[in-house]
Amino acid sequence: MSEAARELVVVLVEPHHPGNLGAVARAMANMGAEQLRLVNACAITDESRALAWGALPLLEKAVRTPDLESAIGDCTTVVGFSARDGRFRLPPLLVSDAAAELRTRGGKIALVFGREDSGLRFEEIERCHLLVRIPTPGPHSSLNLAQAVLIGLYEIEARAASPAETPATEGARQRPRVFSHEALGGTAEVLDSGSLERLIEDWEAALRALGYDSFGPPQLIDRTMRRLRRLFFRAGLERDDADMLFGFARRITGSYRRPGSKGGETEPNA
């Protein structure tokens, strides 16, 4: 089992069929992934246990959460699997291209799969840093949940296991950093999803405090925040980057506190 497998977290959003829980656990055991998180999921039944043959311990230690935010809060990269397109959605990557890009990512990587009948909703895709599509040339485009998990894990794990033999696909997006954390005297700690969501909330509050919504239609703030969200995702923010951006936003809203003052806010690393 490679280091990448130990950092992969499979997240199932509202799975309805108990058998799929067992089949997904077995697929994960096949590929060496060990962390399963279930968002508002159905119960584990005898059918689940039967289909989890050889992977019952993995299934029984699965972490249950009431919502997606709780499931991905400690993950630094969130990858949503969906066959759908739509306005304001992230441009989808083929699963092979996503696997090549994920070789450059550290920390916990959440692979998020939606409901059997309807997939991921718009607001759930908004929480994903990458959107992935598994191409199906046949007339039936929908994959069984366990099939999708197995293909995703195979592509990501197989490519991570031998990066020297797997060149980055032409479609994979590269994200060079103009300034390294060493040059700026910071740390390489990558921001997790929960902190990133709080940063986005702070910047929405800052835009409202500036009266930004008075410069256009009523949807201006929402549209701007979608673009800003994508910008933050693409940037691959580290903790020092985020501290600086938190400081900017909180000074705008007046919620910033100097070191030693009530609230204990620290000075941003500008």
Q: How confident is the model at residue 64 (pLDDT cuts 50, 70, 90)?
A: very high
Residues 238, 186 contacting (CB under 8 angstroms): yes
CA-based torsion, 171, 30, 9, 42: positive or negative: positive
Q: Does residue 258 form part of some domain?
A: no
* Whether the Cβ atoms of residue 110 and residue 72 lie closer than 8 Å to each other: yes
171 neighbors 93 (Cβ within 8 angstroms): yes
For residues 93 and 46, membership in a common domain is answered with yes
CA angle, 90 as apex, 86 and 94 as ends, to 5°? 100
Confidence of residue 162 (pLDDT cuts 50, 70, 90): low
Q: What is the CATH number of the domain that holds 226?
A: 1.10.8.590
Give the single-character DSSP code of 37: E
Q: Give the count of domains, the chain.
A: 2
Domain termination residue (choose one: 165, 193, 224): 165
Beta strands in 40-86 (DSSP E): 63-65, 77-81
138: CB partners within 8 A, 6+ apart: none
Task: Give yes or no: residues 115 and 33 share one domain.
Answer: yes
Residue pLDDT, tens place only, 9-54 = 999 999 999 999 999 999 999 999 999 999 999 999 999 999 999 9
| Whether residue 156 sits in one domain with residue 23 | yes
Q: Is residue 170 part of a domain?
A: no
Whether 263 is in a domain gets the answer: no
Q: Verify that 161 and 81 share a domain, yes or no.
A: yes
Read off the amino acid at residue 9: V
DSSP class of residue 14 equals S
Q: Would you say residue 265 lies in a domain?
A: no
Gyration radius (Cα) of the chain, Å: 20
Per the structure, the complete domain to which residue 9 belongs is given by: 3-165
Residue 203 lies in a domain: yes
**Do 140 and 113 share a structural domain?**
yes
| pLDDT tens-digit series, residues 179-218 | 334 434 445 577 787 888 888 888 888 888 888 878 778 7
Distance from CA of residue 129 to its chain's centroid? 5
The answer to whether residues 102 and 230 belong to one domain is no
| Edge-to-edge strand ranges of the sheet holding 130-133 | 63-65, 35-39, 8-13, 109-113, 77-81, 130-133, 93-94
Give the number of other CB atoms < 10 A from CB of residue 19. Answer: 20
| Band of pLDDT at residue 85, cut at 50, 70 and 90 | low
Is there a domain that residue 153 lies in? yes
132 in the same domain as 22: yes
Q: How far apart are CA 196 and CA 126, in angstroms?
A: 12
* 64 lies in the same domain as 197: no
Q: CATH number of the domain that 117 lies in?
A: 3.40.1280.10
* Sign of the Cα pseudo-torsion (124, 129, 131, 134, in order): negative
Residue 186 resides in a domain: yes
Residue 247, token pair as written in the block: 């400081």
Same domain, residue pair 188 and 237: yes
Q: Is residue 175 part of a domain?
A: no
Q: What does the pLDDT read at residue 163?
A: 46
Query: Are residue 122 and residue 154 in the same domain, yes or no?
Result: yes
Residues 127 and 247 in one domain: no
What is the structure's pLDDT at 35? 95
